[in-house]
Amino acid sequence: MAIIKWDPLGNIATLQDRINKLFDDSFPHHAHDNEEVPLCAWTPSVDIYETDQGVVIAADLPGVNKEDVVVEVKDNMMTISGGRSGDPEHCATNYYRRERICGNFHRSFTLHAMVLPEQIKAKFKNGVLTVEIPKPVEETPRQISVDIE
């Protein structure tokens, strides 16, 4: 049997990652652009994938009304925002456990190329927002003749 010297700092990085994940999962708190976001804010899960026509972003927004979702495109940045309210019939003090997060959400995505906002299509069905971003038309290089005098 081989004797292995014990290194007390060997798994410190792994332990730190586990502790960080535990705190992130237990106390959701995100700051965007040095702006404080309340603890009830949530971050919807998204899938981003490419098709032959372009890029698709699918966001899970259960319990959110279609009217409460805003999709904006400005300066190669697409932002999906909105909110989900809690159940007003139940007072927060009557809960034994509350895991469904309510409040406002805000997700931003950088578009890699200039896309005309009017070409972007969005659908909202069964609590899933699907945003279809078409591939931009590639510009063909133009040759300019230069007269030399």
Q: Write out pLDDT tens, residues 87-134.
A: 666 666 677 777 777 888 989 998 877 788 888 999 999 999 999 999
Residue in 73, 76, 39, 80 with CA at minimum distance from that of residue 58: 80
In a domain, 96, yes or no: yes
DSSP calls for the chain: -------TTTTHHHHHHHHHHHHHHHS---EETTEE--TT-----EEEEE-SSEEEEEEE-TT--GGGEEEEEETTEEEEEEEE---TTS-GGG-S---S--EEEEEEEE-SS---GGG-EEEEETTEEEEEEEPPPPPPP--------
pLDDT classification of 33: cutoffs 50, 70, 90: very low
Q: How many domains does the chain have?
A: 1
% the chain with pLDDT above 90: 29
Q: In the prediction, which pLDDT does 37 show?
A: 43
Q: Which domain holds residue 46?
A: 39-134
> Which backbone phi and psi does 105 adopt, to 5 degrees?
-130, 160
Q: In the prediction, which pLDDT does 89 show?
A: 66
Predicted TM-score (pTM) of the model is 0.62
In a domain, 12, yes or no: no
Average pLDDT for 37-42: 55
Can you tell me the distance from the alpha carbon of 104 to that of 93, in angstroms, rounded to the nearest whole number?
21
In a domain, 17, yes or no: no
In a domain, 3, yes or no: no
In a domain, 124, yes or no: yes
Q: In the prediction, which pLDDT does 130 show?
A: 96
| Alpha carbon 70 to its chain's center | 14
CATH of residue 66's domain is 2.60.40.790
